[in-house]
């Protein structure tokens, strides 16, 4: 989105993150920073803001595009960072978050949970999954086989899930086990979960994420157990 801002406030808040490459996700990081570090965003009726596009606009591609998203998530979203990360393909390098950590400490910024509470107050229907205990985003893999549970791009409640060769890019195979034991599909933006319509069903299906669709992970047996 477009905005106009006070230059002194912008610089006081650290400007744009210098670790971001080209562009992309900078507006998200700036929004978090404004809200969490004492700034304010006002909606002004009938205001007009212009944006001049360059004749040629460089676009972040591949790993840079993913890296920017992961950097903003790691720097500002605390334990909730796994949700955007879980829907992105892995990258080889670790994202540098020193800038964000030092700035948050310097400006005494609020935690991300405070930001979510503000959003909930403004938009009562706004919901966010409970962060996982530990960093558990993965694919559901068949024991001793290179086959993973896959949505095949489907987004329907009750959709039977299939298997496909494990590719490690998350996407249709991306799963996060949240703090409530729900296996949330990253492709379905965490609104649908891996579950069972009936405990006697032959296989898992996509279901709405409700408490009766929770699982436990048996680490000794490397398997998921339906509660």
User: pLDDT tens digits, residue range 192-226?
Assistant: 999 988 766 668 899 999 999 999 988 888 888 88
Q: Is 185 in contact with 192 (CB distance < 8 Å)?
A: yes
Which pair of tokens denotes residue 18? Answer: 């210098």
- Residue range 70-123, pLDDT digits in tens: 999 999 999 899 888 888 888 777 888 888 999 999 999 999 999 999 999 888
- Segments making up each domain of the chain, as ranges: 7-122, 137-226
Task: Measure CA 92 to chain center.
Answer: 18
Biggest alpha carbon distance in the chain? 63
Mean pLDDT for 131-143 is 75
Tokens in use for 91? 């990258």
CA dist., res. 184 & res. 198, Å (int): 18
Domain spanning 137-226, CATH architecture: Trefoil (2.80)
What does residue 103 show for φ and ψ, rounded to 5 degrees?
A: -65, -40
Q: Which tokens sit at 198?
A: 């009936």
Beta-bridge partners for 207: 193
- Counting residues of the chain whose pLDDT is more than 70, the rounded percentage is 93
Contacts of 75 (CB under 8 A, 6+ apart): 17, 29, 95, 97, 99, 100, 101
Q: Ranked by mean pLDDT, which of 15-24, 28-37, 57-66, 92-101 comes out on top?
A: 28-37
What average pLDDT does this structure show over 27-52?
A: 86
Average of pLDDT values for 61-71?
A: 83
């Amino acid at each position: 989105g477009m905005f106009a801002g006070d230059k002194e406030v912008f610089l006081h808040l650290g400007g744009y993150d210098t670790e971001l490459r080209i562009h992309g996700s900078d507006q998200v990081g700036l929004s978090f920073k404004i809200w969490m570090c004492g700034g304010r965003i006002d909606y002004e009726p009938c205001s007009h803001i212009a944006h001049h596009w360059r004749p040629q606009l460089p676009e972040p591609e591949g790993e840079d595009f993913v890296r920017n998203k992961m950097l903003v998530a790691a720097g500002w979203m605390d334990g909730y960072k796994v949700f955007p990360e879980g829907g992105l393909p892995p990258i080889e390098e670790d994202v540098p978050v020193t800038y964000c950590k030092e700035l948050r400490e310097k400006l005494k910024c609020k935690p991300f949970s405070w930001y979510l509470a503000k959003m909930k107050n403004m938009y009562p229907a706004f919901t966010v999954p409970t962060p996982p205990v530990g960093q558990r985003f993965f694919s559901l893999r068949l024991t001793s086989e290179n086959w993973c549970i896959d949505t095949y791009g489907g987004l329907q409640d009750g959709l039977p899930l299939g298997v496909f060769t494990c590719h490690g890019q998350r996407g249709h195979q991306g799963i996060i086990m949240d703090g409530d034991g729900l296996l949330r599909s990253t492709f379905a933006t965490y609104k649908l979960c891996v579950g069972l319509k009936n405990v006697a069903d032959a296989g898992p299906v996509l279901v709405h994420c409700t408490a009766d669709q929770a699982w436990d992970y048996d680490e000794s047996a490397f398997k998921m157990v339906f509660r």
